[in-house]
């Protein structure tokens, strides 16, 4: 349900809670389920520092994220359901939040907060979409949905610049947030907003892998194996315990700096869980619309202000965070900003509450939004949902209705007994879906080319649309994706570009090619300009080289660029890993 917030900075609610604006520490993990903490009843996992936030603060038992990560992150940052923002996917170029969106970091910065984000962003990697351009004074982390190396991570950036880092990634992000908090507290009088966005426990489920540190990581893993967990589950629990250790470090630093009394700490996760060993009776996992796919842990601690041991039963949403933080910060909201979220301040102040949102909505499909394949809507009691696989045809016969008050594990489908309830909820979901998607075209963003902040620019395979009987896209960790299999003349991959400066651009191709397949011809064209490149061999098709292909003329504005097979003598033309474009000076 949308809320048009017309008020400016109104601090009455915030000052009813505290004498001054609080610091804001927002901690979000990646793929940690509702059941993956001791505070939510898990008897097998050790999370003492995370649990302390629930004990010393208030626990929200029906906090809802989106089914997957980028949609949740867009909702957190904007206070709006992700479909309003143009974002619609976790890859394929659909994981970029529209540049017209106003973020909580921008609003808090305008209100005098120093802002930092450390960890996973996943709302856009190209110029104009990066965190330091969306309101954050400091950013150290990664753009993609996950990274491949947890030790010595090689896919991390600092304020838009690729950097190298030493150590284990959860430690790195926590240490960076500690340094940010300490620098802000000692060198300025500004309050801070620190977003600590751990990429754990998202796969790959890796503990310390360096020569010196691996034995320490193995100790945690061995502990959970001895408790009877399968290796997959032991790895996930071990990653969560490493997160918990780092949460403890950050909380200890707040105490050391004397900031604990005036810092609101929120802990949550970005979607439902991936672990399956113990789920507390909940149904479903990440990417689905059962409760296990959309409920996440949510603990709020503000010593002396938020009641300790509090429990909120009312359903709340990730879109509530922006209006909450802005109310507490006294941040002025644009008069025409349409929000879906509602401030949680009254619930925080009371430490309890049985209602908040009349309805909460969930939907996600791998490729493009639709209201039929994977969706849910709930009120405080009832939930209507559907979850169809890619090989199934959506039909009302597959809808499920659950009474969450008597059946929180979603075991008994009551749709035949309560058809009027199902009809009401479905009608409300369709109304909402039509509203949030109205007038929006969902497609990969146009990739900025010739932008002074990123020249050269790398064009990724996943952002293409492709045509041909043999052409294939292989996903393998974002930076190692390829367009492959193509061999017939006329098979194509096409990208949407936004050329900032017209002119001549050098074209470099990153690809791998078996020696026996070398000698094919690839044409790269945009408008009337084109170049052709004879494919060279690498040691194996999975080893990528960077090859000069020539120069091409690009017109300013919105253009397309196409890579096309001219000829291929072998099994495939090449495995194209990327195209690098750089404006000739």
Residues annotated catalytic, as ranges? 69, 122
Contacts of 377 (CB under 8 A, 6+ apart): 359, 360, 361, 362, 383, 384, 385, 425, 426, 428, 429, 432
Residues 560, 10: Cα–Cα separation, whole Å? 47
Q: Which 3 state secondary structure label does DSSP give 20?
A: coil
Residues 396, 386: Cα–Cα separation, whole Å? 8
Cα angle, residue 577 at apex, residues 574 and 580 outer, rounded to 5°: 115
Contacts of 384 (CB under 8 A, 6+ apart): 376, 377, 378, 399, 400, 401, 415, 421, 422, 425, 426, 429
Residues 227, 474: Cα–Cα separation, whole Å? 37
Residues 327, 330: Cα–Cα separation, whole Å? 5
- Chain Cα centroid distance, residue 501: 31
CB atoms within 10 A of CB 191: 22
In 3D space, the residue among 393, 394, 376 whose CA is nearest the CA of residue 385 turns out to be 376
Residues 121, 88: Cα–Cα separation, whole Å? 15
Q: Residue 532: exposed, middle, or buried by beta-carbon count in 10 A (0-12, 13-18, 19+)? A: middle
Residue 238's Cβ-side half-sphere holds a number of Cα atoms within 13 Å equal to 26
């Amino acid at each position: 349900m949308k809320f048009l917030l017309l008020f400016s900075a109104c601090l009455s609610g915030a000052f009813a809670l505290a004498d001054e604006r609080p610091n804001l520490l927002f901690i979000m993990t990646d793929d940690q389920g509702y059941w993956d903490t001791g505070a939510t009843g898990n008897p097998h996992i050790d999370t003492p520092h995370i649990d302390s936030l629930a004990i010393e603060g208030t626990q929200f038992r029906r906090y809802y994220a989106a089914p997957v990560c980028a949609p949740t992150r867009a909702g957190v940052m904007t206070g709006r359901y992700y479909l309003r923002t143009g974002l619609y996917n976790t890859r394929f170029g659909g994981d970029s939040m529209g540049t017209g969106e106003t973020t909580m970091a921008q609003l808090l910065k305008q209100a005098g907060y120093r802002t930092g984000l450390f960890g996973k962003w996943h709302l856009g990697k190209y110029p104009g979409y990066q965190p330091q351009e969306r309101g954050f004074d400091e950013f150290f982390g990664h753009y993609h949905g996950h990274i491949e190396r947890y030790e010595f991570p090689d896919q991390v950036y600092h304020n838009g610049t690729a950097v190298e880092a030493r150590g284990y990634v959860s430690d790195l992000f926590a240490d960076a947030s500690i340094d940010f908090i300490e620098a802000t507290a000692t060198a300025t009088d500004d309050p801070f907003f620190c977003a600590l966005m751990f990429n754990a426990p998202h796969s790959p489920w890796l503990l310390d892998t360096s020569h010196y540190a691996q034995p320490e990581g193995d100790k945690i893993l061995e502990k959970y194996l001895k408790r009877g967990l399968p290796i997959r589950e032991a790895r996930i629990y071990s990653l969560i315990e490493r997160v918990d250790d780092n949460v403890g470090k950050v909380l200890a630093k707040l105490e050391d700096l004397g900031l604990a009394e005036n810092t609101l700490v929120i802990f949550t996760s970005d979607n439902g869980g991936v672990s399956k060993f113990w789920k507390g009776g909940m149904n479903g996992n990440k990417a689905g619309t059962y409760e296990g796919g959309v409920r996440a842990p949510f603990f709020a601690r503000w010593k002396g202000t938020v009641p300790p041991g509090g429990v909120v039963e009312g359903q709340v949403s990730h879109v509530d965070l922006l209006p909450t933080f802005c109310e507490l910060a006294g941040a002025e909201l644009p008069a025409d900003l349409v929000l879906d979220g509602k401030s949680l301040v009254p619930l925080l102040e009371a430490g309890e509450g049985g209602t908040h949102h009349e309805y909460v909505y969930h939907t996600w499909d791998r490729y493009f939004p639709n209201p039929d394949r994977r969706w849910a809507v709930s009120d405080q009691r009832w939930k209507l949902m559907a979850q169809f696989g890619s090989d199934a045809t959506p039909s009302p016969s597959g809808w499920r209705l659950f009474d969450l008050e008597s059946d929180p594990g979603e075991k008994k489908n009551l749709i035949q007994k309560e058809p009027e309830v199902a009809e009401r909820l479905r009608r409300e979901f369709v109304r909402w879906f039509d509203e949030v998607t109205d007038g929006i075209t969902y497609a990969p963003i146009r990739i900025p080319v010739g932008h002074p902040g990123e020249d050269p620019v790398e064009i990724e395979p996943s952002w293409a649309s492709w045509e041909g009987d043999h052409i294939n896209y292989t996903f393998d960790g974002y930076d190692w994706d390829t367009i492959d299999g193509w061999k017939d003349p006329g098979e194509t991959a096409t990208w949407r570009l936004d050329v900032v400066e017209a002119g001549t651009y050098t074209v470099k191709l990153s690809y791998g090619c078996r020696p026996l397949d070398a000698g094919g011809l690839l044409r790269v064209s945009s408008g009337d300009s084109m170049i052709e490149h004879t494919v060279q061999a690498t040691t194996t098709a999975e080893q990528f080289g960077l090859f000069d292909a020539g120069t091409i003329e690009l017109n300013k504005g919105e253009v397309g660029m196409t890579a096309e097979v001219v000829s291929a003598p072998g099994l495939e033309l090449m495995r194209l890993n990327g195209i690098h474009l750089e404006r000739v000076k």
